[in-house]
Amino acid sequence: MDELDRDAQGARWRGWMQASQAGDQIAYRRLLAEVAPWIRATAIAMLRDRAEAEDAVQDALLTLHQARATYDPTRPFKPWLATVARRRILDRMDGVRRRAGRHAPIEAAEHVASETFGGEGAKEQEKGLRADELRAAIATLPPGQRQALELLKLQEKSLVEAAAETGLSVTALKVATHRAIATLRRRMTNEP
């Protein structure tokens, strides 16, 4: 596709998005029909797994639907869409890594760790693993921050899954998680 075609495509998508924001369902269906293959190609290139790519496409389309009111029609549409798509694809990549990590053998790593750290190293390891203190600190977080942290970091759910479970927006979950981590970091390092 040459530059003129890309410009025309971007203008067409922008027009359809603007019309869909005004309630035009036909324009919205046309937009989704054209952006889905573009998102799919990006997802396949980044994930290299068709099943994961399809899940990322669905996540991106859902986010597009949920966030369409936030699009500013005076700005180019493709960069906005690319940001939405890449974030959902990266979320999917993180999920793949977490799932792969769950199946990795950990017995050997625990055995090596216990043999590797001795003397001062063991003290440093204990200092870093204050699990009881961490659990207590998490329990004192405000309910929204605690829930976001538990779903996203402890249960390793995706932002879309956590948003569906809580009814909060993805942005609200990100903010709550960021604040929870910042609070925990201050408490665990005894910062003011």
Task: Transcribe 154-167 into DSSP letters.
Answer: IS---HHHHHHHH-
Contact 137, 184 (CB under 8 A): yes
**Domain range list for the chain:** 3-102, 122-188
Residue among 137, 33, 156 at smallest CA distance from 92 = 156
Residue labelled with tokens 């939405």? 84
Q: Could you tell me which residue, 109 or 132, shows the higher pLDDT?
A: 132
Give the pLDDT band (50/70/90) at residue 101.
low
% of the chain surpassing 70 pLDDT: 81
DSSP-derived secondary structure for 40-59: HHHHHHHH--HHHHHHHHHH
183: nearest Cα among 152, 150, 146, 147:
146
**pLDDT above 50 (res 113):** no
pLDDT for the residue 109: 40
What is the mean predicted confidence (pLDDT) over 145-161? Answer: 83
Given this model, what pLDDT does residue 26 score?
96
The per-residue pLDDT for range 49-82, each reduced to its tens digit, is: 898 899 999 999 999 999 999 999 999 999 999 9
CATH architecture of the domain with range 122-188: Orthogonal Bundle (1.10)
Asked, colleague to colleague, whether 3-102 and 122-188 share their fold, the answer is no
Across all residues in the chain, what is the average pLDDT?
Answer: 80
* 8 A C-beta contact, residue 173 and residue 152: yes
CATH code matching the domain that covers 3-102, chosen among 1.10.1740.10, 3.30.1490.20, 3.90.950.10, 3.40.367.20: 1.10.1740.10
118: three-class secondary structure by DSSP: coil
